[in-house]
Structures are given as structure tokens and as C-alpha cells.
């Protein structure tokens, strides 16, 4: 599930609402904010460092008892496979990138690419790694910068703030609508794969503020962060756009199903099924 497709800078207007989310989370004991509350609010909005946010308890931790742990796999082999595939894809798709960049720039004002803060893997579930992870006590997981082709008008979030993407989103440009439906706007995330932020296959990453809200509504949501996020995944080839929290719950079930059987064979199967989704513009990110 993707929420929005514009640079994070305009989202500053939404900070009052985000602070409300922080206050609500504090009231429920979901996490506490350290001295710099303004910095924490900016972090949750995807505009700052999340080191100022520290959890006291995680609702998803208790829900984990009802689910099988993720299927083990070789991290080294998986990393090598992702690097090889992402590098090859970037080389082959370079001409496509050039054409898309020209079209995006000519058809609407604004940058060709945009960046946005997303929540990635939560290594606290792996205690041996958590001991050496300076973010071992952060909320949600490791944050990183995601890359996409711009598909929305500039300042599209100025009034709406952080909201979910919809199938017929009025904030999307005509070219952006095609990029979204064909999933081409996600291709720059191959660079995220090379950087090690993402895998080609895995649960889709979300924005920090939305993760906070979904963690409150869906007890199992945090379990998605036991693996690196992906450009595509089982939920993306199996479900449509999110229209409600119930739709998100469906995708969470698909994500947990993937974690239970993850491996190279499963990844190849999902990658192959992603092609029809892109060509025939079905499914949902």
C-alpha cells in the first residue's frame, strides 16, 4: 500500500495533525516522546530523525504469539541475489528511465524524482543484531529514504496531509496516473535495493506517521517489519488498492503469509506474477 506520491517537503503543513497522532499514541502508552517533542513530531511526519522516539511497549509484540515466525533464509545469499537482479534491471531499464524522466518533466512542473521517508525492517526481533543496532529501541523499524518517479502535482498534500493513495486519486497528474497503474513509478526503488534499504520482494514500506496509526488499529501490523520491505510482494499481486483499514488487514495477512514461506523460489514466483500486474494494470500497491 502506498500512501502518497509527492516530495515530503509540502507535508510540513500537516504537522499539527501528526502531533495529534503523537499525543494519542502517548495517551495509549504506545510510545513516549523524549525531550524534543517538535523533533519527534517531525520524525513521525517523515521530516526528521526518529532517534528522538522511543517505545515503551509494542502492541504487535503480543500478537506475534499467534503467528509462526518468519521462515529462515540465508541473508547473504538473499542480498547477493537482490544486488545482481537490481543491477541488471537498472542497466536494462536505463533507456526507459530516460524517456520517463523527459515525459514527467515536460508534462507537469516539479522534480522528476521525489524522496519520502519510509519505515523498513525492525531488527529488534533478532536479538543478536539488536544488541549492535543503535536503533534497537526506536519505534517501528529502520527509517530510510525511498525514491519514486513523481506522479502527483506539487503541493498536492498541502491541505490533505498524509493520506492513503486511492485508485482514482484527484491529486495525480495524467502521466502519473499511467505511471501508478503500470507500477513504473516504483522502478527507481531499484536503487534502494542496491543501497540495502529494500529487497525486490517483501512487504511494502509505509510512512512513519501512517505506521503509527495502523499499529494502533491492526495488532499484527508490526510483524510486517520482520523482513526488509520490497518493491513488490504477495499483497501487491493479490489485493487491490486500500479503501479502508479492513483492506489493509487483508494485505497484512498476505504479508505474513509471505514471511512464513519466503525464499528464492517464492520471490521468483512473485516477480513473475508482478509482470501481468504491471502490463494489465491490476492489483494494488
- At 66-121, the pLDDT tens digits run 455 677 888 899 999 999 999 999 999 999 999 999 999 999 999 999 899 999 99
pLDDT for the residue 35? 36
C-alpha cell at 207: 510512512
- For 222-265, the pLDDT digits (tens) are 889 999 999 999 999 988 766 677 888 899 999 999 999 999 99
Task: Return the number of other C-beta atoms located less than 10 Å from residue 128's C-beta.
Answer: 8
Residue 1 maps to a domain = no
Greater confidence, 272 or 42? 272
Rounded Cα–Cα distance for residues 13 and 16 (Å): 8
Residue 236 maps to a domain = yes
Beta strands, E only, the chain = 31-33, 53-55, 113-119, 143-149, 199-201, 230-232
- For 118-145, the pLDDT digits (tens) are 999 987 765 555 445 554 445 578 999 9
Residue 285 maps to a domain = no
Is the per-residue pLDDT at 26 higher than 80? no
For 74, counting Cβ atoms within 10 Å of its Cβ (0-12 exposed, 13-18 middle, 19+ buried), the class is: exposed
Q: Which contacts of 86-94 are long-range, i.e. CB under 8 A and separated by 24 or more positions? A: 86/190, 86/191, 86/193, 86/194, 86/200, 87/194, 89/187, 89/190, 90/190, 90/191, 90/194, 93/187, 93/190
pLDDT for the residue 242? 66
Cite the DSSP H helix spans in 182-285: 190-195, 208-217, 234-238, 245-261, 264-280
Give residue 149's domain range.
9-63+76-280
Residue 102 maps to a domain = yes
Q: Which residues pair with 117 in a beta bridge?
A: 145
Residue 115 maps to a domain = yes
The domain total for the chain is 1
C-alpha cell at 218: 491492526
Is the per-residue pLDDT at 16 higher than 80? no
Residue 16 maps to a domain = yes
Residue 133 maps to a domain = yes
Q: Residues 6 or more apart from 212 whose CB is under 8 A from it? A: 21, 22, 25, 30, 44, 139, 140
Residue 143 maps to a domain = yes
Greater confidence, 270 or 39? 270
Amino acid at each position: 500500500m502506498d500512501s502518497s506520491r509527492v516530495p515530503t517537503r509540502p507535508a510540513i503543513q500537516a504537522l499539527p495533525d501528526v502531533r495529534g497522532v503523537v499525543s494519542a499514541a502517548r495517551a495509549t502508552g504506545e510510545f513516549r516522546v523524549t525531550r524534543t517533542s517538535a523533533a519527534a513530531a517531525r520524525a513521525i511526519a517523515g521530516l526528521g530523525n526518529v532517534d528522538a522516539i522511543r517505545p515503551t511497549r509494542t502492541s504487535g509484540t503480543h500478537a506475534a504469539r499467534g503467528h509462526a515466525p518468519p521462515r529462515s533464509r540465508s541473508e547473504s545469499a538473499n542480498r547477493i541475489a537482490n544486488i545482481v537482479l537490481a543491477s541488471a534491471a537498472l542497466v536494462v531499464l536505463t533507456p526507459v528511465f530516460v524517456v520517463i524522466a523527459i515525459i514527467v518533466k515536460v508534462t507537469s512542473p516539479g522534480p522528476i524524482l521525489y524522496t519520502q521517508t519510509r519505515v523498513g525492517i525492525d531488527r529488534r526481533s533478532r536479538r543478536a543484531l539488536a544488541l549492535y543496532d543503535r536503533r534497537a529501541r526506536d519505534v517501528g523499524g529502520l527509517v530510510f529514504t525511498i525514491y519514486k518517479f513523481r506522479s502527483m502535482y506539487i503541493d498536492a498534500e498541502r491541505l490533505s496531509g498524509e493520506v492513503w493513495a486511492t485508485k482514482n486519486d484527484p491529486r495525480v497528474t495524467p502521466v502519473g496516473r499511467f505511471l501508478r497503474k503500470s507500477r513504473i513509478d516504483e522502478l527507481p526503488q531499484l536503487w534502494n535495493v542496491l543501497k540495502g534499504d529494500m529487497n525486490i520482494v517483501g512487504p511494502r514500506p509505509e510512512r512513519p506517521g501512517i505506521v503509527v496509526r495502523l499499529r494502533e488499529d491492526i495488532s499484527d501490523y508490526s510483524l510486517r517489519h520482520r523482513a526488509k520491505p520490497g518493491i513488490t510482494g504477495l499483497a501487491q499481486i493479490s489485493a487491490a488498492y486500500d479503501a479502508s483499514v479492513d483492506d489493509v488487514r487483508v494485505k497484512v495477512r498476505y504479508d505474513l503469509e509471505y514471511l512464513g514461506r519466503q525464499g528464492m523460489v517464492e520471490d521468483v514466483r512473485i516477480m513473475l506474477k508482478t509482470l501481468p500486474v504491471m502490463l494489465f494494470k491490476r492489483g494494488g500497491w
